[in-house]
Chains A and B, each alone.
Chain A
């Protein structure tokens, strides 16, 4: 029965399109709203995953290798992107001291207003305080200038 088979393939494709679309959208929301640069790049990777899922679905439906080929190249580009992005993030972290993208808002257009952080209360979640070991042994000698600026890590 070729018909039943065809219908099932259509349903499979539509399921995969829905899942791919949802993955893409969730990644999009994360990219737009998160401020941590690393989480932003994770969200971008998630959008790539969503596209990959739909490409594989289309490839299966058309009985064509093109979809899977494209996903292989997406994988390559994602690896390149991750390498460059992480080098960039590392450099920006050394310059700015943290991973906040709002730190780099000087790059905005001249006529755009500056983003001002809301004041939010500190959170003291007892679950977030991790156990520590009791100090033992001799106290290490601490040089004065090392407390201000670490010459090496």
Chain B
């Protein structure tokens, strides 16, 4: 009860409405056996994304604002498409667009290596493997299980609740600026002082300026000195996953559980 009161006082009404509309729109867009209400769901999610866009802070200049908004719109719209499309192939293609949008967001933050790596590793390798398996497994059109979801209403409600929590948490953290003043979201109006994260001026971190011109060089130095052990562990993990995948496929062919028959499927 107390928590709810605090939440209601710190989160603004606009965000609440946006979260609610997002949940409702996702519920209408998810496959539920009929195509009724899809257009209305589309309208609702668009309105909700628009409300979230109003909540975004404008950045330095107009050009970066425009680029940032385009990246955000591409990412979020294609994410909703990827989740709600009936055909899994369309899902995969929308997800590719999401990845391109996220790569753009990474570039916008100056994380050039990660942007390239997302495009190459995710969109180039992982997603194409997904599409391969999809084509191997599911050559036909819409099957029953693609046209129905598990409790669509419940999961969309969970999503709305989660959005409220995340928006509230992200908005209620305040920061100290270079002079030690508390800079924060304008919506947080609370009696007690919230946890303030100290601002680190760029002079403190001269050696590891994240926006340095020699981006990949600095990143490589950081990766192969401070995180060398983690790199080794990650390499081992990749090897283990490779062996595991081969073992699963090879072992699954010959032994283990019986093939599910029609009767067993009905009995289950």
- The chain A residues found within 8 Å of chain B, CB to CB, are 2-3, 6-8, 10-12, 14-19, 21-30, 32-36, 38-39, 41-43, 45-46, 49, 52-53, 56-57, 59-60, 62-65, 68-69, 71-73, 75-84, 86-91, 93-103, 105-106, 114, 117-118, 120-121, 123, 128
6 A-B pairs with C-beta separation under 8 A: A32-B158, A33-B30, A42-B92, A45-B95, A114-B268, A117-B144
3 smallest A-B Cβ distances: which pairs? A11-B57, A30-B83, A91-B252
The answer, yes or no, to whether B249 is at the interface (CB within 8 Å) is yes
A68 to B211, CA, bound (A): 12
Of the residues B33, B106, B147, B156, contact of A29 by C-beta under 8 Å: B156
A62 to B200, CA, bound (A): 6
Nearest-neighbour CB distance to chain B for A86, whole angstroms, equals 5
Nearest-neighbour CB distance to chain B for A73, whole angstroms, equals 6
Question: Count of B residues near A, CB < 8 Å?
Answer: 115
A68 to B223, CA, bound (A): 10
A87, B95: Cβ atoms closer than 8 Å: no
Closest to B83 in A: A30
- The chain B residues found within 8 Å of chain A, CB to CB, are 22, 26, 30, 33-35, 52, 55-60, 68, 72, 75-76, 79-80, 82-84, 88, 91-92, 95, 98-99, 102, 105-106, 109-111, 113-114, 117-118, 121-122, 125-126, 129-130, 133-134, 136-138, 141-152, 154-156, 158-159, 162-163, 166-167, 170-171, 175, 177-179, 181, 183-185, 199-202, 204-205, 208-211, 218-219, 222-223, 226-227, 230, 234, 237-238, 240-242, 244-246, 248-249, 252-253, 257, 259-260, 265, 268
Closest to B91 in A: A39
A121 to B102, CA, bound (A): 38
Nearest-neighbour CB distance to chain B for A72, whole angstroms, equals 7
B113, A68: Cβ atoms closer than 8 Å: yes
A73 to B204, CA, bound (A): 26
Of the residues B149, B183, B245, B252, contact of A6 by C-beta under 8 Å: B183
A56 to B106, CA, bound (A): 7
A72 to B111, CA, bound (A): 11
Q: A24-B166, A25-B162, A46-B98 are in contact. Are A98 and B143 (CB under 8 A)?
A: yes
| B122 contact set on A, CB distance < 8 A | 45, 49, 75, 78
Q: A18-B170, A23-B75, A89-B137 are in contact. Are A76 and B237 (CB under 8 A)?
A: yes
B248, A8: Cβ atoms closer than 8 Å: no
B52, B105, B171: residue with the most chain A Cβ atoms closer than 10 Å: B105
Of the residues A19, A69, A87, A123, contact of B227 by C-beta under 8 Å: A69
Closest to B71 in A: A19
| A49 contact set on B, CB distance < 8 A | 98-99, 102, 122
Of the residues A7, A82, A103, contact of B126 by C-beta under 8 Å: A82
A14 to B147, CA, bound (A): 37
A12, A81, A87, A118: residue with the most chain B Cβ atoms closer than 10 Å: A87
A86, B147: Cβ atoms closer than 8 Å: no
B83, A27: Cβ atoms closer than 8 Å: yes
B83, A120: Cβ atoms closer than 8 Å: no
B237, A77: Cβ atoms closer than 8 Å: yes
B155, A86: Cβ atoms closer than 8 Å: no
Nearest-neighbour CB distance to chain A for B171, whole angstroms, equals 7
Nearest-neighbour CB distance to chain B for A25, whole angstroms, equals 5
| A118 contact set on B, CB distance < 8 A | 33, 148
A76 to B227, CA, bound (A): 14
A86, B133: Cβ atoms closer than 8 Å: yes
A32, B150: Cβ atoms closer than 8 Å: yes
